[in-house]
Homo-oligomer: A and B are copies of this chain.
Amino acid sequence: MTQTRTTQTRTKLERGRSALGPALTLVHTGSAPTRAVLTTELGVTRATAGAVAAELQVLGLIRVDTRPTVVAGSQGRPSHRLDINPDGPVVLAAQVHADGFRAALVGLGGRIVATRAGCMTVAADPADVLGVVVAAGAELLKTTGRRCLGAGLAVPSAVAEPEGTALNPLHLAWPAGVPVSQVFAERILAHGITNPDGVPVASFVGNDVNLTALAEHRHGAGRGARHLLVVATGHSGVGGALVLDGRLHTGSSGLALEVGHLTVNSEGRPCHCGERGCLDVEVDPLAFLQAAGREPGPEVSLLHQSAALLREEYADPTVRAAAEALIDRLGLGLARLVNVLNPDRIVLGGLHCHLLDADPERLSAVVADRSLWGRSGSVPIVGCTLDHNTLVGAAELAWQPVLDDPLSALAA
């Protein structure tokens, strides 16, 4: 099969192999719009950059927009835009939480192609839950007819590496140590989510807040940060995550930045962990609603109610006082983390994001005041900017092998 090719039959496709992954990563993160930018960012010659772009196009991952670009004020031959192929392959991303699940097909660049949500009111067996989730994903794949390159799942629990077991899936009422990764892979096998050769796609599982952080770092409010701290309240208490030089720091056993039990109020309410005044119970939608004197209604989630209250009734002194108390406690927790980690940006999600919107100056002031070094205290604090960031983060997990080595990942 491998015919001996003579020298003159070589094509430009035979260069740029080692730069393929970095180049795709640049396109994926939206920071490589043209071949010229590829040349400078990768530090290669124009010839190599051109070959890389051609190869990525042949692989069906990107398109080259040959239309004349209307860029004013620039001399020289205009560069063609490198766009993500909107009809290219996707990965399956999924998220499970206490109330239900969501599945999506996500393309390069974190673009959500199709999504479907579902409810699960009662805690069920992990295999059943993930079976429903993967079935929804399989349905999406069937409907859209997309090629699937991998699958990623976000769970509200620390996930041990590399075993892929959920260490504390309290909010799903699953037993600690459930082999989520294995169960997920089995459901994918069972639903026949495979590459064209019939091999089941690679699957990955991660903690939801970690994946949120990954998504915000690559496509959202965390872009460009070298040391990014993310703290979010979601459906499952307070979680933290740290992205260092573009890579998630999950700790040696996946338990890094489980920040829900930082003490932020020594006279606070008792927490199930045995201490008092943990971030988890002090900065909480339910606690906020009660402190603001509102009765939590059953119709929508507590998070939505809290957000609405912050947005619409911040002028109310009771609401404002309750919010400020939360901001002060959140700020203390963030300051503690800043003292240890010295991040260059903080991204907040969930309730924290709405607290930030309500009074951005106060939160920054508290963090600066309670952190030791003025310089590390002046950390920019911003809110999430990405829709479905946890899903996008789960997709990042599945895209990673493709970004690392597009040729191998697509050959399979």
Contact = CB atoms under 8 A, between A and B. Distances in A.
A87 to B, nearest CB: 37
Contacts of A273: 372
A351 to B, nearest CB: 21
Interface string A247-276: 001111111111101100010000001000
Given A244-B244, A266-B266, A343 B251 contact: yes
Contact of A252 (B158, B255, B342): B342
**In which size bucket is the chain A interface?**
20 to 34
A343 B340 CA distance: 14
Given A244-B249, A251-B227, A373 B340 contact: no
A265 to B, nearest CB: 12
A372 B342 contact: no
A375 B253 contact: yes
A213 B307 CA distance: 44
A337 B259 CA distance: 11
Interface in A395-410: none
A344 interface: yes
Given A167-B373, A244-B249, A340 B341 contact: yes
A207 B297 CA distance: 54
Interface of A: 158, 160, 167-168, 226-227, 240, 244, 249-259, 261-262, 266, 273, 337, 339-344, 372-373, 375-376
6 contacts: A252-B344, A253-B344, A253-B375, A257-B340, A257-B342, A258-B339
